[in-house]
Amino acid sequence: MATEIDIIMRGPMAFEWARKTLEAMEANSVWPTAVNYELWMYYVAAKDSRIAAEIEQVLKSGAQFTEQVGEEIASRHLPSARLNGEILDAGKNLSAELNTVTRAIETARETSEAFGQQLASASVTLEDKDAGDVRSIVETLSAATRKVREENQVLESQLADTTGELSRLREHLEQVRRDASTDALTMLFNRKAFDEALETACRDAAEQRGIVSLAVIDIDHFKIFNDTWGHQTGDQVIRYVASVIGRMAEGARIAARYGGEEFALIFPGEDRDAAFSVIERARVEISTRILKRRSTNEQLGAITISSGVAETMHGDQPVTLIERADGALYASKRNGRNRTTLADKNSASQGA
Which active-site residues does the annotation give? 261
| Residue 165: strand, helix, or coil | helix
| CB 288, CB 240: distance < 8 Å | no
Pairing of strands 339-342, 305-311: parallel
d(CA 5, CA 211): 36
d(CA 15, CA 11): 9
| Cα 261 → chain centroid | 19
Give me the count of residues in the chain.
352
| CB 304, CB 351: distance < 8 Å | yes
| CB 155, CB 97: distance < 8 Å | no
Note the helical H segments in the chain: 2-9, 14-27, 34-45, 50-61, 67-77, 79-125, 131-180, 191-208, 222-229, 231-247, 272-287, 318-334
* Region of residue 297 (left: phi > 0; alpha: psi -120 to 50; beta: else): left
| CB 179, CB 79: distance < 8 Å | yes
| CB 187, CB 246: distance < 8 Å | yes
